[in-house]
Chains A and B, each alone.
Chain A
């Protein structure tokens, strides 16, 4: 049975459609990504699932519970990290964890969370004195202190430096490995690619695709490029050899460099032909397709941050 089941969700604000028949389900123990640019309906969807907003139509079940009718039961079993949440400046780290633990029937021991999230030496520090990464880790720890079965993390690494982001990703994987189903809202491609088992790509209030990040990338037949520098006297030969290979759509020169664009697995064919004909090349580079390419192909527009 899926942990979250969303069917035909619709929502509009003063005539503007925000969600247009959104349906998906989240399986136990996965990190499920909700990816899309700002305004695509990601946060609205999650807030409806959390019971913070009502949908105009459609049904939502979280662990079999209706977020509005069974709100009290639902709040016991989900943990939420909201975008832009802060704490009072003068609240100490341990006080925040101790306070939020007292809200739940079966909380986790907050001292363990203090260790797991690297906050043990900041135990008595006030919120305002924490670094950005420490604040974010505390906010995530608060989402987990109720011992939830499902955790919602909304834009969890916004404003963090690269090192802090990597560290946060590792911790989120540990949360999943401990058996918590994670719903991750993000507009960062790298984050979704790194963390998510499956991703729903949102665009203009609809879901454009749902698949694993690798599946999304593989499904895209976008044009991409490879480039190499042939030995000076071999450039013309090389271009002749590869011009008509299957999948190759264009061959251009840029100084000493040859740039080949094409679709599918043309790069393998190109390197094979060059090797067979003993054309020596250097600086060979193949642009790998990314989730960005998949996103552009799926939604027909570039990812506008």
Chain B
């Protein structure tokens, strides 16, 4: 069979595994739960809640789901086993990244659909700006996830590091309490973290403004530099 058949089969199998993984369901349910619980108290013009829940969804996929999956594959010797077959282990990593990104898009799509249809929340005025911010924010967070996967000795360790990183990042990003209720200096520091820059850029898009180039630069820098570090430190076994 050809490499295309193998990649197709790999994608099918990895999709099944992702669906069977209980963690996947949680990355849908937790942001949705927050949206629905707080959604009852927002006004029609609210520009805070949706950006927060989208940032939470991306944070969960990037810091919990993806690093745990990748580190587990290495821990179980699956990447090494693949390297003895005609398929290269990097194919598996690529398929995983694409699927995790698809999961992130689906999760956000669900949030937008529920918020738009059931809660009457406001949608971003400029879809292109939203797509740009979403892509950069997801890329920067996935880079952090890849670095965790590269450094963690086991799937369990990756999960632990993900948890440890998530809470301070979520706090600085204004996801635990809204940024408007936080000290200005903390908000300012938060804007230099990938999740904070992401949340703030989303909020800018929602209020109808253009995203701040500085924040886009922060996300792009994390995406590139941290990915390079992850590639540098990644071990196949």
Contact = CB atoms under 8 A, between A and B. Distances in A.
Interface of A: 50-52, 72, 75-76, 78, 80, 82, 84-88, 90-91, 95, 98-100, 102-105, 107, 146
Interface residues of B, number: 22
Contacts of A87: 76, 78
Nearest to B236: A52
B17 A88 contact: yes
Contacts of B9: 98-99, 102
Contacts of A107: 1
A102 B12 CA distance: 12
Contacts of B13: 91, 95, 99
B84 interface: yes
Interface string B5-30: 11001100100110011000000000
21 contacts: A50-B84, A52-B83, A75-B85, A82-B80, A82-B81, A85-B78, A85-B81, A86-B76, A86-B77, A86-B78, A87-B76, A91-B13, A95-B16, A99-B9, A102-B1, A102-B6, A102-B10, A103-B86, A105-B1, A105-B86, A146-B85
Interface in B178-206: none
A104 B1 contact: yes
Residue from B1, B5, B10 with most neighbouring chain A CB atoms (10 Å): B1
B84 A52 contact: yes
Contacts of A75: 84-86
Interface in B78-92: 78, 80-81, 83-87
Interface string B61-98: 00000000000110011101101111100000000000
Nearest to B19: A90
B85 A100 contact: yes
Contact of B77 (A85, A91, A100): A85
Contacts of B10: 99, 102
Contacts of A91: 13, 17
Contacts of B16: 90, 95
Contacts of A72: 86
Contact of B20 (A76, A80, A90, A104): A90
Residue from B9, B17, B76, B85 with most neighbouring chain A CB atoms (10 Å): B85
Nearest to B9: A102
A98 B9 CA distance: 8
B78 A80 contact: no
A102 B7 CA distance: 9
Given A78-B84, A90-B20, A146-B86, 7 more contacts: A50-B84, A75-B85, A84-B77, A85-B76, A95-B16, A105-B86, A107-B1
